[in-house]
Amino acid sequence: MNLEQLNTQLFINGEWTEALSGEVMSVINPTNRSLIASVAKADQNDVAKAYEAAAQAFLNWYAMGWKKRSLFIEEFKSKIKQNKEWLAQIDSINSGNPIKGMLRDIDSIVNRIEQSIHFAAAVHGSTVESSGVMNLHYTRFEPFGVVARIIPFNHPVLFAATKIIPPLIMGNTVILKPSDYTPLSALALGEFIKDIFPPGVVNIITGDAVAGQAIISHPKIKRIGFTGSANTGKKILQEAAKAGIKNISMELGGKNPMIVFPDADVSIAAKHALTGMGYGSTQGQSCGSNSRIFVHQDICVEFTKELSELTEQLVIGDPLETKTDIGPLITEQQMQRVLSYIEVGISEGARLIQGGKRPKDGVGNKGYFVTPTIFTHVTQNMRIAQEEIFGPVTSILTWNDYEQMIHEANDIEYGLTASIWTQNLKWAHQTAHKLKAGYIWMNTSAKHFEGLPFGGYKNSGIGREESIDELISYCETKVVNLNLEE
Ligand code: NAD
């Protein structure tokens, strides 16, 4: 596939433009370590330029009203639908994610855009009888103005295309910063945006942490939606506070428990443990992955055997092939990080029963591949039970004391997702209520259901997305009081 036709400059004010910094960054194919492209690397002057363009575009965009804005967004959605294979291939090459998962991501884009348009009609102010029957008190939702979205590498086009929509439909103009590792599909979207949206409404700034920090430190960008690691999230909150009081929402990491009760259907649970890891789409580089599995001791042997057999069948290889389940990790550094966690697990006394190494031959030997890994005999205090590895490493912990298991499931810095496997409704609901996590599945995993708010407790984030909550979060609430009684 020829990616040379992609524009690799910054997209500001409806035009492709060189970075004022004059710098570029290399984009590497993680499957074979080859250079795919050199892409503009923005600094604070580029961010300032993008801000001016977005600020200039704001009033006209807002004045259109959501119905007219939704026509532009509909056209954007159609263009993405028409280019489904092309966009999925770009992501598969750039991120190493299996093509089948990236094709599913395009379907999710279409659904989520439709959903945002649907919800826009439901975002409206209200009148409140606050000070007597004659007076009028009402609320209005108003856009912030220029907002920014900073996104990670694991679902590049899904995040680039969907995270700009809630702010846009509410009347904001947007600066989007894709991951330094996976900017290519966002740049492909830039071509569509150029043809569809008025100049300045969407601006795309490629770059690394320097560009991200410039967005955070810009005194006039008051609303930022960040998706990425908790560590970067902490830095962002500190930096932002130096520039002013900012409204920042965060979708961060997870170390999510999958809880298997003794009455669970072991085969179905084992199958979902793989889907729940993000195999078939992200090699375990998923914020919602069920990387800690609490299995009841009565079924632990059976569950582990099933999981191990299914894991053995996963196809590791070229992400562009439809049969591939596991592609490479995103970078050399990420691969080394995952391999070092595997060493840590072994040295802490966990039992490595599967994977844990780089493939010896074939395509897997060239890129940043790690075989899907299972540890048993994992205990709560081990680092592989506590820290987000963000790779193909599953830790199995056994339990027989329910309260102790719940305590351990919650005794962790994260609280993004959890899944519960039982036929017993009472156990399922009691457990769901006790878990400190924002998104819980019972007898299923991984799927984000349309319209339901996604986000985390504790260090997994601030705020909720993928729902009407996300649209409202891109608005300020204004109250207007009219005195008619005097
Ligand atoms: P990351 O935090 O390293 O980078 C995310 C983005 O932030 C990138 O665009 C990066 O260039 C930018 N950035 C880096 N340093 C910055 C700084 N100091 N200031 C501003 N921007 C900065 O994350 P990653 O490695 O790309 O992604 C993996 C992480 O994202 C995992 O922890 C994962 O769990 C999380 N994630 C969360 C969700 C969710 O919905 N909760 C979804 C996907 C990924």
CA of 397 to the centre of ligand 1 (A): 28
- Distance, in Å, from the CA atom of 384 to the CA atom of 346, rounded to the nearest integer, reads 10
Residue 326 has pLDDT above 80, yes or no: yes
Q: Ligand 1 pocket test: which of 158, 229, 234 has the largest number of ligand atoms within 8 Å of its C-beta?
A: 229
Position 363 confidence tier, pLDDT thresholds 50, 70, 90: confident
Residue 393 identity (one-letter amino acid) = V
- Residue 300 bears catalytic tag: no
CA of 252 to the centre of ligand 1 (A): 7
Please state the atom number of ligand 1 nearest to the C-alpha of residue 465: 40
Identified catalytic residue from 4, 74, 287, 466? 287
Per-residue pLDDT at 2: 73
Among protein residues, the one with the nearest Cα to ligand 1's atom 31 is: 229
Residue 343 has pLDDT above 80, yes or no: yes
Average pLDDT score, the chain: 97
Per-residue pLDDT at 364: 75
Please state the atom number of ligand 1 nearest to the C-alpha of residue 456: 41
Closest CA to 437 of 307, 300, 259: 259
Could you give the percent of the chain with pLDDT greater than 70? 100
CA of 226 to the centre of ligand 1 (A): 7
Please state the atom number of ligand 1 nearest to the C-alpha of residue 233: 2
Task: Give this prediction's pTM.
Answer: 0.98
Q: Ligand 1 pocket test: which of 175, 227, 242 has the largest number of ligand atoms within 8 Å of its C-beta?
A: 227
Residue 394 has pLDDT above 70, yes or no: yes
Residue 168: which region, alpha, beta or left (left: phi > 0; alpha: psi -120 to 50)?
alpha
Averaged pLDDT, 294-301: 98
CA of 413 to the centre of ligand 1 (A): 17
CA of 122 to the centre of ligand 1 (A): 31
Closest CA to 255 of 386, 102, 380: 386
Angle at 443 between CA 442 and CA 446, to 5 degrees: 80
Among protein residues, the one with the nearest Cα to ligand 1's atom 37 is: 252
CA of 19 to the centre of ligand 1 (A): 22
For 188-225, the pLDDT digits (tens) are: 999 999 999 999 999 999 999 999 999 999 999 999 99
Among protein residues, the one with the nearest Cα to ligand 1's atom 14 is: 209
- Distance, in Å, from the CA atom of 62 to the CA atom of 65, rounded to the nearest integer, reads 6
Identified catalytic residue from 74, 142, 251, 343? 251
Closest CA to 17 of 206, 223, 239: 206
CA of 228 to the centre of ligand 1 (A): 2
Position 1 confidence tier, pLDDT thresholds 50, 70, 90: low
* Residues within 6 Å of ligand 1 by CB: 150-154, 177, 179-180, 208-209, 212-213, 216, 227-229, 232, 235-236, 251-254, 287, 388, 390, 416, 456, 461
Pairing of strands 223-227, 247-251: parallel
Averaged pLDDT, 421-429: 98
Please state the atom number of ligand 1 nearest to the C-alpha of residue 180: 11
Among protein residues, the one with the nearest Cα to ligand 1's atom 35 is: 228
- Residue 251 bears catalytic tag: yes
Per-residue pLDDT at 133: 87
Could you give the percent of the chain with pLDDT greater than 90? 97
Residues 6+ apart with CB under 8 A from 426: none
Position 132 confidence tier, pLDDT thresholds 50, 70, 90: confident
For 76-126, the pLDDT digits (tens) are: 999 999 999 999 999 999 999 999 999 999 999 999 999 999 999 999 999
